[in-house]
Structure 1
């Protein structure tokens, strides 16, 4: 084969490759064009600035990154519900064109139309007209402005056009950013409490009590997530009719450094729901009774009840003093427990776990007296038991147990004057016998060194 022939073949190959590439690009462009052509409306959701539903007259308007409703009333919009309408156009398509003759519109429920969806976007306005469902119920007949074509499309168009004001409005009972909450003033059937965040920890006023973080979170999370069940009065003239001039619950949220206030009022019970109102908005709405229950904690519920702040596995020493004796057990770096006092023996690991677990999980059953005049009435001036628990040889918990009261027993913890009731089972757990907690001592090996030699010397 000479150079001329080789050159011709190379040229043919290049032309062939170029043709394949060109055809592939054309196919991709055609596929993209067909995809756009088949879309119900060729717009992007983030380009939509207004959505109008007919015949309901609901008019949603984008306000920066949020949505508001300006008709039939002015109120905040539910962002996710409104944006779901716009997001439909990323996948909704024209399934099949049925007719292009306006004279046929009445056959498909389009003369007059059953509803309309008007979309205002950066390129103009598009209107979709809704007709009847198809005979199978799988699609709906529709048409759009600028074209006479009647086509079949997804029933989601119908469900979106038929959305109610309640579906699209902001239903939050009170709007706030949980991270901005600096304090909560809560008045309910159980009393009045102020929860204040200091150095990342919640305190209860008055009293300066440590708060149960999980209980505070429960209240705030429910306030943040709760939604109105029904709006009953858009512009109330008499709040007393709903029990809102003397609410059974009032929550004041103080937000940010300037402590801006948001207030939620809970009024009368109506059936299984309560009337409620966000003071910054006009409407009266109804909320679930389960929600109101969450807003009615008492002081005990709100207070921190755990008396220990360590894990059972972290304890490496404890001392139990009762009935005139002291039991001391220690754990070495390999995790082996030893009884050190009153004698030295290997300890039962499962029993050590039980004793230390009860310490790490110690909780208040009842707050008896935060500032007792005397400990004697509780049997704590001469306690039955004193238990000390150490983590890395540092004392973490020093508990005294006094008199018994039913299923509970009075207790104090070093560092606080308060008297509590805790579960009485501690009394049995923390007063073990040596046999309860120690392994049997190992027996000494038998002495096999006796002289067994035979004297064979002559007399």
Structure 2
């Protein structure tokens, strides 16, 4: 019978295990689930939210989501909302957590900054609604006291001040002046007081637009510069708005000739914005999209930032032909003289056609010649070339097209201010370019050299 104590102990342990497994553990899991549920500030998902009301000491803003999913302001006026601002507030509420309940049915709200809350938000999701009053910071700066109407309790949350304080009607109004997708643009017209530039997208509705200048000249456009301009137009935003009324009428009378007018054309219609700075000394600038729309206050630096002259928007690669269209490239410098020929996609030397060239080195060199851009314009029209060392040039490159005709020419002269004077087939006049190409012209021996083999090391 000496085993009875051991058996009895095993029975007791089994009973305790069963109690823990069947009673305590499920109860703890239920309690944890309830705690997780209680931690959510809103009891409905983000996708169900269709209405938002934000009240501050400055007034109330009512917003609703339309059938297309866009947010609209419905009061105190009817206009488009800044969807990003609205979604940012909703996301903060949806992801917000209750850290702990401070007081149920509180007798006083002053200790929590809730007697006069900085912001009161009502969120509507179908038949459900929740109103949250935002109070002071909690013990930590990253916490806020909130009065939750559905439970009539003051709770401490992990919400942050920046998401809910200083929100005004302007905060929620749509502030971007132009709404477009770059690939869908068909043309862009830039009108200045003394000139006009018209750009056409030759690859509309394709992922990568191809821009050309159609006026005042027919020319290839600098794709990077055009994209940069369009990105800046996408970012053109109002700092303030003057709605139709006496103030707008009075200011509009001071706006005569715009410093810049931008017209965007798509298959769906045109968008136009005019930029004004009636008194540069005042530091004020305005934008107008139509006579019956608000006037927009903008940063005066925007006008200067959007200004582009013809030279800036032109394709500034001087040679005048793309690398893929070059059939033959004649190279002449003070100590090098040879001709590269493209035979069935491979480069060879004209005087050594059977010798295998380092194709990587040849392709890189041809690309550098074809893509060398002008940095500065020296003179616009043809003139004396001797002052720039272009009568007896330092280097000259002549490209022949696949039709056997000369398609491009690039000439490099003397150096000045760390740049080299140059002329090219694409642009009229004398320019300055970076001097790097002069040091990058390979010798025949370098072109004939085999590429270095990659070596692997063992460890």
The TM-score, its normalising length taken from structure 1, stands at 0.70
- Compared CA separation, residues 439 and 295, structure 1 to 2 (3 A): closer
Q: Is contact 2:119–2:164 with CA below 8 Å preserved after alignment?
A: no
Aligned to 1:219: 229
The answer on whether the counterparts of 1:212 and 1:304 sit within 8 Å (CA) in structure 2 is yes
Q: 2:249 is matched with which residue: 227, 237, 262?
A: 237
Give, in whole Å, the separation in 2 of the partners of 1:412 and 1:113: 68
Q: Which has the larger radius of gyration?
A: 1
Q: What is the DSSP-based 3-state SS (H/G/I as helix, E as strand, rest coil) of the residue aligned with 1:125?
A: strand
Choose between structure 1 and 2: higher strand proportion: 1
Q: Distance in 1 between matches of 2:87 and 2:391?
A: 66
Preserved CA contact (<8 Å) 2:328 2:340: yes
Q: Matches of 1:40 and 1:376 in 2, distance apart?
A: 75
Q: How far off its partner does 1:80 sit?
A: 1.5
Distance of 2:113 and 2:364 partners within structure 1: 75
Which runs of no fewer than 5 residues in structure 1 stay unpaired? 1-12, 441-459
Match status 1:88 vs 2:98:
no
Partner residue of 2:295 out of 284, 288, 306: 284
CA deviation after TM superposition for structure 1 residue 166, in Å: 2.3
Which of the residues 179, 193, 197 maps onto 1:175? 179
Total equivalences in the alignment: 404
The alpha-carbon deviation at position 28 of structure 1 amounts to 5.6
The verdict on how the C-alpha distance between 1:38 and 1:301 changes in structure 2, with shifts beyond 3 A counting, is same
Mapping 1:24-423, distance limit 5 Å: 30-55=31-56, 56-64=59-67, 65-111=69-115, 113-134=117-138, 137=141, 139-156=143-160, 159-160=163-164, 162-189=166-193, 191-199=195-203, 200-232=210-242, 235=245, 236-243=248-255, 245-256=256-267, 258=268, 260-268=269-277, 269=280, 271-279=282-290, 282-308=293-319, 309-310=321-322, 318-320=329-331, 327-330=337-340, 340=351, 356=366, 359-364=369-374, 366=377, 387-389=397-399, 397-399=407-409, 401=411, 411=423, 413=425, 419-423=428-432
Deviation string 1:396-453 (CA, Å, 9 cap, x unpaired) is 854275999998767453xx7x744244899x959x9xxx95669xxxxxxxxxxxxx
Distance 1:405 1:419, change over 3 A: farther
Q: CA deviation at 1:23?
A: 8.4
Structure 2 CA distance for aligned equivalents of residues 99 and 302 of structure 1: 64
SS in 2 for 1:176: coil
Gap regions ≥5 residues in structure 2: 1-13, 204-209, 447-459
User: Structure 1 residue 303: deviation in Å?
Assistant: 1.4
Pick closer, same or farther for the CA change 1:394–1:101 going to 2, 3 Å: same
Q: Structure 1 residues 425, 352: closer, same or farther in 2, change over 3 A?
A: farther
Assess if the C-alpha contact under 8 Å between 2:105 and 2:153 holds in 1.
yes
TM-score (norm 2): 0.70
With over 3 angstroms needed to count, the CA separation of the structure-2 counterparts of 1:320 and 1:108, relative to structure 1, is closer
Per-residue deviation, 1:82? 0.6
